[in-house]
Amino acid sequence: MKKQKGFVFSLSLLLSFLCLPSCSGRDNDKVLLHKKEGIQSTIRLNSAEELNSLVRYESSLVMVTQTGCEHCEAQLPVLNQFIQETETVIYSIDYSAYKEAYEAESNSIGTYANLLPRVVSTPTYLFYGEGSLKEAKVPTSDMDRAGMKEMIYSYSEGIPLYQLNDTTYNSRDGYTYISNSEELEEAKNLDTLGYSTTELDKKIQDEEKITVLYTWRRCLDCRDYRLSFFDDFLLKSTKKIYYYEIDGYYLLKRQSDETLRDLGLNMWASFSEKYHLITDAYYNTDILGNKAGFAPTMVTYEKGSYSSMDVYLNEVGYKTNDDGTLSYTMAFHEDVLALKSDTKVSDGDSDSQKKARSELSSKARTIDLEKSKEYLSSL
């Protein structure tokens, strides 16, 4: 194995055995869509930016390799066979790009300090779970497929398999959204894997009927949606539902730089309209006056056209009723729009406002869950 100068990195944390989605009994018909459809090998990360975008937010497995590393080359056929047989998503990155990310200031101070460990031997496998490093593992030089499987299943929390976005990054043009905009050159350094809709558009046009869940990695409502019932539903169902990650749009429209922020807001509004994440009666109005959608939203398309949709949570605004209770001013489901809080609010009384909003939220979540289950069952 090719050695780097320095001390051997060691991490004492040992995770309990948790199986990947691919060994949970889910067959190919239930697996949605990988980062690359028909995955045959590792997905290559080409820059420090792509690496940071992945490991800061996702559960993921990254293999650090190095040009000229004989052990890396010898292990790749075994690893690729494992990927093809188990449909496990594994990323790879060359040590030079990894070292750039490792030596960056963001890896020594701040929110993401020490997220990237010192790698002293290649190949090294890094296991991440929801934005934190779980384990760094250097495989033995003679590791076979069985050993590979044991190592991955023993140290991994599970790797998301479902995403329609392209993960490509072009060093000349940056991410796709800045292709012809010199003034937004800095935008290509944002920590996101991309904005491409190539695969999404192809699926919508080519399939007779397709349902897409628009979601993003940092979204608490999206996480609640999946953990509450969606992941369990997929395991038990034969239905095929695709994910589309909207991280790029949400990151861009939350930038402190006004130019980038406005670009993101306009892009997200256009995206919401094109892919039918809004209706005439339900939408969010941003600070530029655009109508835009929310996540998580599920949309079904038939023969290339919009068919139906469901939105989980994301009720908009409050109004005080004549009896002093609170209601939402806008909600996707009529049943939620008709809700009233149990608590009556008083002007200037923040405690009653907080309690009434909490009551509304709890009632809305119950209805939204049931409506989403009904929607999924009807597909």
For residue 87, the model assigns a pLDDT of 67
Q: Is 276 left (phi over 0), alpha (psi -120 to 50) or beta?
A: left
Q: Rounded to an integer, what distance in angstroms lies between the CA atom of residue 219 and that of residue 35? A: 19
**Domain locations in the chain as residue ranges:** 2-155, 176-311, 316-378
Burial of 312 from C-beta contacts in 10 A (0-12 / 13-18 / 19+): buried
pTM: 0.67
CB 320 within 8 A of CB 302: no
Do 2-155 and 176-311 have matching folds? yes
CB 271 within 8 A of CB 277: yes
Q: CATH number of the domain at 2-155, please?
A: 3.40.30.10
Ranges assigned E (strand) in the chain:
2-3, 43-45, 60-65, 91-94, 121-122, 124-129, 132-137, 209-215, 242-245, 284-285, 291-292, 297-302, 305-311, 316-320, 326-330
For residue 38, the model assigns a pLDDT of 60
For residue 39, the model assigns a pLDDT of 65
For residue 1, the model assigns a pLDDT of 57
CB 87 within 8 A of CB 31: yes
For residue 237, the model assigns a pLDDT of 75
Q: Rounded to an integer, what distance in angstroms lies between the CA atom of residue 27 and that of residue 57? A: 27
Q: Please give the CATH architecture assigned to the domain spanning 176-311.
A: 3-Layer(aba) Sandwich (3.40)
* pLDDT per residue as tens, the chain (379 positions): 554 433 222 222 222 222 223 222 233 333 333 344 566 788 788 888 878 877 887 678 899 999 999 989 988 888 888 888 776 778 889 999 999 999 999 999 988 899 999 999 999 999 987 678 989 999 887 788 888 888 887 766 544 434 445 443 333 333 333 333 444 455 555 544 556 677 788 889 998 999 999 988 678 898 889 888 887 787 677 777 888 888 778 878 887 788 888 888 998 999 999 999 999 999 999 999 999 999 999 999 999 999 999 999 999 999 999 999 999 999 999 999 999 999 999 877 889 999 999 999 999 999 999 999 999 999 8
